[in-house]
């Protein structure tokens, strides 16, 4: 009987190995909880960022409407005076250049 008990003690895992297994188990649980919390906080941060971008987009759209209204107003006011220049636009003719000059600024 004593021999049997001694054999069972010899085949059991050493204490350092059991402590290592428990340490790994604890680290696994802690890291899983930390990753879950991190994921939740990141989602909240993403939601806040999306909200800010939505507000910026609304401000930009309002600004764009103001610019378009101003463009319509100015176009109605000045279109007739600029219309005559529409036909004056021609391609640049490099052959017509007679003298090259370098000006330093």
Average pLDDT on 22-35 reads 96
Could you tell me the pLDDT band of residue 17, with boundaries at 50, 70 and 90? very high
Could you tell me the pLDDT band of residue 105, with boundaries at 50, 70 and 90? low
DSSP calls for 15-49: HHHHHHHHHHHHHHHHHHHHHHHHHHHHHHHHHHH
DSSP calls for 50-61: HHHHHHHHHHHH
More confident residue, 37 or 61: 61
**pLDDT tens digits for range 75-93:** 999 988 888 888 777 788 8
């Amino acid at each position: 009987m004593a021999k049997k008990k001694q054999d069972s003690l010899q085949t059991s895992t050493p204490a350092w190995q059991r402590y290592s297994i428990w340490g790994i188990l604890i680290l696994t649980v802690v890291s899983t909880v930390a990753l879950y919390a991190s994921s939740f906080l990141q989602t909240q941060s993403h939601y806040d960022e999306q909200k800010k971008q939505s507000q910026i987009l609304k401000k930009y759209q309002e600004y764009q409407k103001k610019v378009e209204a101003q463009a319509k107003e100015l176009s109605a006011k000045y279109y007739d005076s600029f219309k005559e220049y529409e036909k004056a636009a021609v391609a640049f003719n490099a052959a017509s250049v007679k003298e090259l000059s370098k000006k330093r600024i």
